[in-house]
Amino acid sequence: MRYLLVDRITEWKENEQIKGAKNVAMTEDFLEFHFPGNPIMPGVLLLEALAQLTGWLVAASSDFNDWFLLDKVTLCKFYGFALPGDQVVLEVKAVEGKEPGKRSYSATGLVEGKRKIVAEFEGNVVPLDSIEDRPAQMKFFKVLTRSQ
């Protein structure tokens, strides 16, 4: 099973930052068991949404030749829950890397202006066509950014 956790990309600046949104819907299957009668978006999926958004930044900045793969989370703090009906506003910014050959980012997720997650992470850049169909990803990016 694969979760696509970025519903929209609202802005991006090549190699620097990207903003997007994740809409938490009651119909998402992970909410059935997390937790029965008290649905909460799992924190690890918020982190994954930030990693996916970083992938879109790397892809768009490289003319869809590259993708980001998360390697290490150096900081991750949670400040509350993302619930059904919430829109999580995601933001990722490139930061100075600590390890040679790795890309580093800081990221936040907000619901109605309140922090839900803050993270710092690093990873590797891999050829996009080694993991995805490049033309399909280019088309999907246009859907996410509404830039038809």
State residue 41's pLDDT score.
97
CA distances from 81 to 31, 45, 56, 87 (A): 12, 12, 25, 12
Residue 1 has pLDDT above 70, yes or no: no
What tens digit of pLDDT does each residue of 6-40 get? 999 999 999 999 999 999 999 999 998 988 899 99
pTM: 0.96
In the chain, where the domains are located: 8-138
Q: Which of 7, 8, 21, 34 is catalytic?
A: 34
Coil, helix or strand at residue 129: helix
**Mean pLDDT across 45-50:** 98
| CA separation for the pair 50, 36 (Å, rounded) | 25
What tens digit of pLDDT does each residue of 94-135 get? 999 878 889 999 999 999 999 999 999 999 999 999 999 999
DSSP tag of 33? T
State residue 76's pLDDT score.
98
Q: What is the architecture, at CATH level 2, of domain 8-138?
A: Roll (3.10)
Which is nearest to 110 in space by CA: 122, 92, 94, 127? 92
Which is nearest to 131 in space by CA: 51, 68, 73? 68
Active site residue 13: no
State residue 131's pLDDT score.
96
Q: pLDDT band for position 72 (50/70/90)?
A: very high
| CA separation for the pair 109, 91 (Å, rounded) | 7
**Mean pLDDT across 76-103:** 94
143 C-beta neighbours (distance < 10 Å), count:
11
**Mean pLDDT across 51-57:** 98
Coil, helix or strand at residue 44: helix
Sheet with 103-111, side-by-side order of all strands: 8-13, 17-23, 87-95, 103-111, 114-127, 66-78
| CA separation for the pair 64, 70 (Å, rounded) | 17
